Structure 1
Amino acid sequence: MEENTKSPFQAAIQPGLTIGLISLVLTYIAYFIDSGLLASGWFGLVMIVLFFALIIFFGRQYRSELGGFMTFGTAFNFSFIAIIISGLVGLIGQIVLFQVIDPSLPEVLAEKTLQSTLEMMESFGASPDSLPAEQLDEIKESTLSNFTLAGQIKNFGFGLIAYAIVSLILGAILKKRDKSLDY
C-alpha cells in the first residue's frame, strides 16, 4: 500500500506561512489605520481568536487528508510547526516594521501601553500619581526594550514556550482516534 500523506512538518509549512502572512497583513493594516491599534487589547484579542480559528481550520483539513483520524502527537507536531513558521513570518515582518519602516513606532506604542497601564490602575482604584517617576520611566524603558531587535528575538524565544503550550491545547482539540481499531 502506497502512502501519499504528508508528514506533520510538510503539512504545516503552507498553513504556517498563510497564518503568518494573514497576521502580518492585519498588523500592517492596523498600523496604517492607526498605529495605536497595535497596543490595544481588543486588537490582540481579535488576532488570537483568528489565530486559533485558522490553526483549527487547517488542522481539520490535514486530519481529513489523513483519513479523518489523527493522533495527539501528529496534531501537536502539526500545530507546533505551523505556529513556529507563522511566528517567524510575524517576527520578520515586525522587525521590518519597527526597525525599518517606522523606528519611532516603539516609542508611540510604549507610551500607549504606559497610558493603558495607568488607566487600568485607576479602574482598580489605585492612584497612578502614587508611582514615582523613576518607576514610570522603568516601565516605559522595559516596554521599549521589547521592540529592539534583540528584544524581539528574545521574545520570540520565550514565545516558543507559549507556542508549545498552545500546541498542546490545539493537539487535544484536533486529535481524533479511530475507534474501529479498538478490540
Structure 2
Amino acid sequence: MENYNGNSDVEVGAAPFQAAFKTGIVLGLITVVAYFILYFIDSTLLASGYVGLVLVAVMVGVIMIFGIEYRKELGGYMTFGVAFQFVFIALLISSLISTGGNVLLFHIIDPNLPTVLADAQMESTLAIMERFGGAGAIGGEEIDKLREGFYDNYTIVGMIKSLGVSVIISAILALILGAILKKRDKSLDY
C-alpha cells in the first residue's frame, strides 16, 4: 500500500527510526562534547541549572532543524505520529549516548567529579536558601542527607534513574515538538 508521498508503508515506518537514529547520535555527541568541554573549562559548570537549560535549548533547536529537513524528505508533509516517533527516538538515543558519556566522565576519567559536583550543588542550594532566609532552618543532619542525595545522582544507579526520568521528559517534549513539526497535506481534504 502506498501513501500520498508514493512510499510504501514499510518504508515510511522504518524511515522515522533511521532519520531519528542519526539525529539522536548527533544530539548525543553534541551533549557529550559539551559536557567534556565544560569539564575542562570548569567542572562545577556541570552542576549549573543554567547550563542544563542551554543544552536543552540547543537540543530543541537541533531537533527542529533535523525534523524540518526530514519533513522535506517526506515531501513537505508529516503526520503527528511520524513527527512524535522521530523526536522521541532521537531524544532516547541522545539520552543513552549522553548517559554513557557521563558514566565515562564521572567514573573512569575523574572518579572524584561526583563529589565535586555534589558539593557545588550543595553550595548553590544553601546560597539560594540563604537568599530566601531559610539557611538557618536546616541542621547539619539535613545538610548531610541533602549532600548525599546530590552525590547519589552521580552514581551509576542514579544515572540510570535519571535516564528513566529522561525517557518521560523525552515523551513530553516529543509530544510538543511533534505537534510543531507535523504538517498536514491540505490537498487531501475533500
- After TM superposition, the score normalised by the length of structure 1 is 0.95
Shift of 1:123: 2.1
Residue 86 in 1 paired to residue 94 in 2?
Answer: yes
Residue 159 (structure 1) aligns with? 166
Q: Does 1:40 find its partner at 2:63?
A: no
- 1:22 shift after superposition: 0.7
Report what 1:28 is aligned to: 36
Amino acid at match of 1:50: V
**Matched residue, 1:9:** 17
Superposed displacement of residue 125, structure 1? 2.8
Partner of 1:102 in structure 2? Answer: 110
Q: Distance in 2 between matches of 1:123 and 1:182?
A: 58
| 2:71 maps to 1:53 | no
1:67 aligns with 2:79: no
Q: What's the CA shift for 1:39?
A: 1.0
Match of 2:181 in 1: 174
The match for 1:116 is 124
Amino acid at match of 1:131: I
The alpha carbon displacement at 1:118 in A equals: 1.1
**Alignment partners' CA distance in 1, 2:137 and 2:83:** 49
Give the Cα separation in 2 of the matches to 1:70 and 1:161. Answer: 23
Number of residue pairs matched? 182
TM-score (norm: length of structure 2) = 0.92
Distance 1:40 1:92 in 2: 20
| 1:159 Cα offset (Å) | 1.7
1:132 counterpart = 2:109: no
SS at match of 2:53: helix
Name the CA distance, whole Å, in 2 between partners of 1:139 and 1:168.
Answer: 33
CA distance, structure 1, for counterparts of residue 165 and residue 51 of structure 2: 21
Deviations 1:4-30 (A, max 9, x none): 765211111111000100111011000
Equivalents in 1 of 2:52, 2:82: separation in Å?
28
How far is 1:129 from its partner? 2.5
1:27-49 alpha-carbon deviations (Å, 9 max, x no partner)? 10000110011111221121111
**What stretches of structure 2 of length at least 5 have no aligned partner?**
none
Q: Could you give the per-residue CA deviations for residues 100-153 of structure 1, whole angstroms, max 9, x where no partner exists?
A: 001110101001101111111122232x12211111011110111111111111
* In structure 1, C-alpha distance between the alignment counterparts of 2:108 and 2:136, rounded to whole Å: 36
Unaligned runs of 5+ in 1: none
